[in-house]
Structure formats: C-alpha cells, structure tokens
Amino acid sequence: MARTPSNMLALGTVAPDFRLMDTVSGRTMALQDLKGKNGTLVMFICNHCPFVKHVNPEISIMAREFQPRNIRFIALSSNDVDKYPEDSPELMKETALKEGYTFPYLFDADQEAAKAYDAACTPDFYLFNSDLELVYRGQLDDSRPGNGIPLTGEDLRNAMKALLRGEPINPDQKPSIGCNIK
C-alpha cells in the first residue's frame, strides 16, 4: 500500500475551475456552479484506494453535517481507468450510491483538475472559503488503515467549524497520506 503525502498547495490559492462529468447524474458540472455559500470542500478520492475506503464513512457523515450549513462537498476521481478499471465512471457511480454520497462524484478523465490542484494522493482535501480561497489542505485526521486511531475527521472538521464561525484556521496543517493518483 503506497503512502504518498499531499503536496500542500499554498494557502490563499484561488480554486482552479473545472467542468467535469458527475458520474451519478451524467451531467457536466463546473466549480462555479457547485461552490457553496459559506465554503467548498474539494476532495480527490477514488474507488480502489484503501485509505479512501477507510475514510468514506466519515466523509459521508461530514457531508450530512456541513452541507446544510452551506459548505458544499465535491469529490473528484482522477485515476487512469485503463490501468485501474475499478475507478471507472460506472463503478464510481456504484460507489457513490453504496457509500451514500450526498455530493457530486466527478470524473477527471484527463487529470487536468488534479494537475491544477497539485493533488498527489487519495484522499486529498482542499477547503475553500466563500471567495474560493484555500484555507485548509491536508488530512481528514490522524487515522489510517490499520493504525488503530479512531476515525473522527477532527482536523478537517475543526477547519470547517472555524470557517463557519469566521475564526482563523490553524495554519499548522498536516498533509494527507494515501495512494498516489495514478
């Protein structure tokens, strides 16, 4: 199991726009149409990565908790489906339905979005404020498959709570660790 860290895009970076197909609805969606009133969480995930499988339950819980508070969740998969067919759009849709995703799961076929975000691993999390300026990037929490630390979403959850309260977000942010984007 590869252990690739996030590249940690600079705080304050404006979210790169994208237009990608949502694997559940089949519609093309753009960041500008999806962004949240109070913030936007862009997540790079995939179907096959054990790190993503580990955090999927918490991602779904957090989406149900923060989407009603106008933080929009958006998931992207950027893996090469010729080499990793389990990450195909058809199977992405199955995963989204099985995991109860309440957010779009977009297919980045040419990996241009991953390159624009400097995304290196799955999962990789980017939280933007209402002006689409990066305020948090890094890990969900300290839990990893097999390390015995409970899954809480603490790091990302604290960042979203601070964003909603208008408080500074701790700039000491740990990189996510996961499978490299293929």
Could you tell me the two tokens for 135?
A: 């305020």
Could you tell me the two tokens for 112?
A: 């241009």
Average pLDDT over residues 122-134: 98
Average pLDDT over residues 136-149: 96
Average pLDDT over residues 153-179: 96
Average pLDDT, the chain: 96
Cα–Cα distance list, 52 to 5, 13, 33 (Å)? 13, 25, 26
Average pLDDT over residues 38-63: 97
Write the pLDDT tens digit of every residue in 5-17. 889 899 999 999 9
> Would the pLDDT of 54 be above 80?
yes
Write the pLDDT tens digit of every residue in 71-97. 999 999 999 999 999 999 999 999 999
pLDDT score, position 55: 97
pLDDT score, position 2: 65
Band the pLDDT of 3: cuts 50, 70, 90.
Answer: confident
> Would the pLDDT of 1 be above 80?
no
Give me the domains of the chain, ranges plus CATH numbers: 4-180 (3.40.30.10)
Backbone angles phi, psi at 93, to 5 degrees: -60, -45
Q: Which residue has the higher pLDDT, 1 or 70?
A: 70
Share of the chain above pLDDT 90, in %: 95
Average pLDDT over residues 29-46: 98
Average pLDDT over residues 102-129: 97
The single-letter code of the amino acid at 152 is T
Buried b (16+ CB within 10 A) or exposed e, 108-118: beeeebbeebb
pLDDT score, position 4: 84
Instruction: Write down the pTM of the prediction.
Output: 0.96
Average pLDDT over residues 24-34: 97
Q: Which residue has the higher pLDDT, 149 or 5?
A: 149
